Amino acid sequence: MRSSFKSVAGQFFSSYGMLGVLLILCAYFTVTTYRDEPTTGRAGAVALAKQLPGGARIVIVAQNGPDEDEFVAALRDELKTRGFPSPEIVQGDPPTVREKLEALAKSATPPTVAAASPTCHEWPLFDAVKKAVPALANLDVRSPQAGRSSAFLSSSNLSNIADQTAVIAIIAIGMTMVIITGGIDLSVGSLLALSAVATAWLIGAWGGADASSGAMLFAALSAILLATLVGAFSALMITVFNIPPFIATLAMMQVASGLAFIVTKGQSLYDIPPSFTWLGRGTGLFGLPNSVLLMFALYVLAHFLMTRTVVGRHIYAVGGNAQAARYGGINVKRILAFAYVVSGFVAGLGGVITASQLKAGAPTYGVGYELYVIAAAVVGGTSLSGGEGRIFGTLIGAFIIAVIRNGMNLMNVESYTQKVVLGLVILGAVLLDRLRRQRRA
């Protein structure tokens, strides 16, 4: 048991060289986004309470939000155990805070020390209040001491990255299969838009903002079916009429996008109940977004399909050498068709997730996604010549792209430079593929 785990792990790391790249990237961004950041929540409150001068009249200042509530509650308890007189509490947006502070200033015993949450401490509010209100001119404003932490390596950011990559990664499953067969599918971005629009339109038609869960589910399934059918149509063109995949899917990209614009008249459809955001914004197991859980589940399923089933082996065989596969008794056309249908299916699913995340459907969604999706597959080690590639490699590829985008955003890199870096990464990955091929030859 133990040794088999070891061999599986060994195989995993040797097969997924890109995992190393991903880990290096993560380490890099962890270090570069390391900075002094004020300790928030309970820890911040405890640290702050230790520094407050005894006997002072304290006002706790915080804004709204879960972190801030925790800060206020923890600080109040801490002050109580330390024997401070019970503090005033001022919580809200800046105008509310100011109003309440000014009201406190008029009392017989105005506060002398403000214990502010880190966010409030950044506001120019205290300077303004001190100038404007004489009773508070000497207010001592304190905030939790800074601790070192990385903006990149925080649980909220990691969940954010997974959330951002979920749609691309899910669509990339289909793309990986298509590319392994030696083809390409350019229609996925438009299919995403068509599916998102169809979902929003059907929900609008079946009750709009009051639509039942059943209606929403049915709308989502219909939209996915629609995208799958478009995928099947591309497959038909490619297998029966021998149109090159590039051309067939390029044409479907135009058709699907055009249909999405026709259905919506170019507007966004938003007559959707709030509960529809469950898929895109709700959280489930381990606090991960539902879309991310779905992504992992689909990857496990696809990995199983590609490595443990006949269909999977045939997909590799067709991509490796279609002629040989045909002689070997494989129904090549059926395998090709399967890949494009799966690609349409996952693109449709991506559309439903996007519509759920944004609580609206618009024909402008998904523009340029085909390139991100292809990039995810290629960066993940799928060869554009077909026959080679791994499902989990694609997941890693999708994460590499998402991590670079997110990391650069956190580092304040402006968007023009981001494009250059992303382009270089994709180029680097293809270069890697070439070098590997040459070495083997």
Partner 1 sequence: MKKPGFILCAALCVALTGCNNQASNQTDTQAAAPTGSPSAAPAGKGVIGVSLLTMTNPFFKEIGDAIDDEAKKAGYSTTITAGELDAAKQRDQVNDFIVKKVSAIVLCPCDSKAVGTAIQAANKAGIPVFTADIANLDKTAKVVTHIATDNYAGGKLAAKGMIEALNGKGKIAIISHPEVESGMMRTKGFKEVIAGDKGIKIVAELPGNGDRALSFKVAQDILEKNPDLDGIFAINDPSALGVVAALEKVSRVGKVKIIGFDGQKEAKQAIKEGKIFADSIQFPDKIGRTTVQAITKYLSGEKVEPQILIPTSLYHKAEAEKDPALK
414 in contact with partner 1 (CB under 8 A): yes
Written as six digits, the tokens of 434 are: 């070439």
CB of 406 to partner 1, least distance (A): 6
Residues in 6-25 at the binding interface with partner 1, rule: CB under 8 A: 14, 17-18, 20-21, 24-25
Count of chain residues binding partner 1 (CB under 8 A): 93
How would DSSP label each residue in 226-242? HHHHHHHHHHHHHHTS-
What is the bridge-based pairing of β-strands 34-38 and 146-150?
antiparallel
Query: Whole-number minimum distance, CB 311 to partner 1, in Å?
Result: 28
**Is 296 a binder of partner 1 (CB under 8 A)?**
no
Pick the binder of partner 1 from 6, 8, 11, 64 (CB under 8 A): 64
Between 181 and 195, name the residue whose CB sits nearer to partner 1.
195
Considering only 230, 237, 292, 360, the residue that binds partner 1 (CB under 8 A) is 360
- Considering the complex, state which of residue 236 and residue 413 has its C-beta at the smaller distance from partner 1: 413
Question: Please, which residue, 222 or 277, has the CB nearer to partner 1?
Answer: 277
CB 387 to partner 1: min, Å? 17
| Cβ-Cβ contacts under 8 Å for 201 (sequence gap 6 or more) | 263, 264, 269, 361
CB 211 within 8 Å of CB 203 = yes
Q: Taking CB under 8 A as the rule, does residue 177 contact partner 1? A: no
Angle between helices 188-205 and 332-358 (to 10 degrees): 50
Q: Decide whether 236 or 408 has the Cβ nearer to partner 1.
A: 408
Binding to partner 1 (CB under 8 A) within 418-437 occurs at: 420-421, 424-425, 428-429, 431-432, 435-436
Residue from 32, 112, 222, 283 that binds partner 1 (CB under 8 A)?
Answer: 32
Q: Would you state the structure tokens that stand for residue 75, as one six-digit string?
A: 């600080």
DSSP conformational letter for 289: B
Identify residues 86-145 at the interface with partner 1 (CB under 8 A). Answer: 93-95, 97-99, 101, 119, 121-129, 140-145
| φ/ψ (deg, to 5) at 60 | -90, 125
DSSP for 71-108 reads HHHHHHHHHHHTTPPPPEEEESSHHHHHHHHHHHHTSS
Chain positions 260 to 279 lying near partner 1, rule: CB under 8 A, are: 268, 270, 274, 277
Give phi and psi for 383, each to the nearest 5. Answer: -90, 130
* Residue in the block written with tokens 């509650």: 73
